[in-house]
Structure 1
Amino acid sequence: MDGRNPVMELVHSLRAVTVEFDLLGAEFAARHGLHPTDVRALIHLLDAARAGTRATPGWLGEQLRLNSAGTTALVDRLERLGLVRRSRDTADRRRVLLDVEEKATELGWSFFGPVIGEVVAAAEGFEADELETVRRFLAAVLESAGRVRSA
């Protein structure tokens, strides 16, 4: 036995992937004059759109753990850059909805498209049951991190 713990090796691998993606996000932010929080906001808004969640400034502030003033400044900045659009909810005109503009999606794909392509290519080398195991593992890790963050 070489003394290596396979679970800790997974933890270290996950950390390495996290650091690498964080560096990519920071490079993207710097290249486009964004703050790292701007990038996280765009990711949350894109994820919300994929999930069918109608994102409001209050919802976004909760996701980013920002107060109302910080969220307003963030949304103002993203709107000024043409990356996010505010609109009124047709069901409740008092409610403001946030949508990612096509410009933001295009910037994201132009930068992150190659790494997404590499990840997809890597994943295609795995069987469906292996991918399901990875999916379950990542979902469990995400849930665990959320619990720790909320504590």
Structure 2
Amino acid sequence: MGFNEDARRVSGSMLDPRVIDPRQELVRHDDLTEVDLERVVVLLTALRSWREAEQKLSFDSRSKMKLNDTDMKALRYIIASANADVAVTAGALSEHLHISTASTTKMLDRLERAGHIERRPHPTDRRAVTVAITEETHREVRRVMGAQHAHRFEVAKGLNSDEREVVIRFLTDLAAIPQLPEDPEDAEEPEAAETPAR
């Protein structure tokens, strides 16, 4: 058995409670048949594969535009706000992204220098400044992110109504799992897109 095959086998078994928790100290699985347990592992493996593919797509698109994850979230928010005819301020972005005002200012300065956004006077408040995405960046985000969303939409559209309800409940329950407390040192995004591990 070659190294790559061994690595794949070990990687796949890391989601199998029979391997990672044989004494059932964390995950009870003796109430499942072998077939049901196997299908649960297949489901979790499929979920992991989707996450890895999504992360790679996200990284590739961010790297092409020299953006990090927070930058992309900011641009998507600005586009959505413009489509809803809502002016975006630095304060609104800070609140949406859950980052400090200082971090928001640094991010906007960086995006403006790179030609991704421009600051404009607020239409109704002379003391405020709004943030708008440039036409070129808007086109690129729509091209990259729009295509990804269109593919996801087609997959969701291919499910029948009962299947959608099952997936909605499954993903909603996953999202409700309590998260580990965040390390304050890791709270801020890096200023440049990270290089993936090789």
Paired residue for 1:111? 144
Higher RCO (C-alpha under 8 Å, 6+ residues apart): 2
Paired residue for 2:97? 64
Equivalent of 1:43, from 58, 70, 76? 76
Q: Kindly tell me: are residues 93 and 28 of structure 1, through their superposed partners in 2, closer, same or farther at Cα, counting changes over 3 Å?
A: same
Higher-Rg member (1/2): 2
Q: Does 1:123 align with 2:156?
A: yes
Equivalent of 1:29, from 57, 62, 66? 62
The superposition leaves residues 32-57 of structure 1 with CA deviations (integer Å, 9 ceiling, x where unpaired) of: 22233212221232343445543211
CA RMSD of aligned residues (A): 3.4
Gap regions ≥5 residues in structure 1: none
- Aligned residue pairs: how many? 149
Q: TM-score, normalised by structure 1?
A: 0.70
AA in 1 matched with 2:50: V
* % same residue: 28
| Superposition deviation, residue 129 in structure 1 | 5.6
The 1-side partners of 2:159 and 2:172 are apart by 18
The superposition leaves residues 57-76 of structure 1 with CA deviations (integer Å, 9 ceiling, x where unpaired) of: 11212232322222112111
AA in 2 matched with 1:30: S
Structure 2 contact 87–122 (Cα < 8 Å) conserved = no
Task: Pick the structure with more helix per residue.
Answer: 1
Q: TM-score, normalised by structure 2?
A: 0.57
Structure 1 contact 87–97 (Cα < 8 Å) conserved = yes
